Amino acid sequence: MGNTVDMQSIRIEHDGAEPAVTSPEAMAAQAGKVFPLAERIGNGEGEAFDFKEWYAAWRQENGLGADVPFPTHLKVEGIDTFEAVIPWKQLEDAAIQFSIAGEPLVKGGPIRLYAPSGSSACLNVKSVVVLRFLQDADNLDYAAYGFKNTFSTQELLKKP
Ligand SMILES: Nc1nc2c(c(=O)[nH]1)N[C@H]1C(S)=C(S)[C@@H](COP(=O)(O)O)O[C@H]1N2
Ligand SMILES: [Mo]
């Protein structure tokens, strides 16, 4: 069905680049190295690639030079409107799960982000369909998660 392709698409928005869509397989190929998610996440299933390795490769392939600043935060949006804002330093060792036993994710697809250095397991967003790269140098430790437009004080994590 025509919808199948859209459901497996991930939109990328980054200053200095045209918004574009990609696929789990294309992202894994771009990252270059794939490993069992369990290497980083206890009980993690399936295959993953390193988020920052993928990001470095993506930057290079899109010709983003030193004039385009590195992001301070990543905002990930799930297909169910759950979303999270994650400080860059909480993305250390972050991994993107993209398949299980070589097959596309049935649950949590097209991709799922795991942030083992994140301030909360709630930041492990499933069914990610948008990656938005943000610049907010005044709020480097700002992290948040929740359903779109429903961020509340309780959902804001002030600690890095
Ligand atoms: N798309 C999406 N991702 C999500 C959520 C959600 O409701 N939707 N819940 C989050 C929260 S609050 C938690 S605690 C974890 C739960 O992950 P688990 O089901 O693997 O335990 O997923 C996070 N990722
Ligand atoms: Mo949670």
Listed in sequence order, the DSSP H helices in 50-151 are: 51-61
CATH level 3 topology of 10-154: Sulfite Oxidase; Chain A, domain 2 (3.90.420)
Q: State which of 125, 131, 150, 154 you would mutate to test the pocket of ligand 1, scoring each by most atoms of that ligand within 8 A of its C-beta.
A: 125
DSSP 72-94: SEEEEEETTSEEEEEEGGGGTT-
Q: Kindly state the percentage of the chain with pLDDT values over 70.
A: 88
Report pLDDT digits (tens) over 112-141.
999 999 999 999 999 999 999 999 999 999
Report pLDDT digits (tens) over 17-32.
999 999 999 999 999 9
Q: Greater confidence, 49 or 160?
A: 49
> How many A from CA of 78 to the centre of ligand 1?
10
Average pLDDT over every residue of 49-74: 97
Instruction: Give the SS3 label for residue 150.
Output: coil
Distance (Å, whole) CA 67 – CA 91? 22
Average pLDDT over every residue of 92-100: 98
- Using alpha carbons only, what angle is made at residue 96 by residues 94 and 99, rounded to the nearest 5 degrees? 150
Q: Which residues contact 21 (CB under 8 A, 6 or more apart)?
A: 9, 10, 11, 12
pTM above 0.85, yes or no: yes
Q: Is the pLDDT of residue 90 over 70?
A: yes
Domain assignments of the chain as residue spans, ordered by start:
10-154
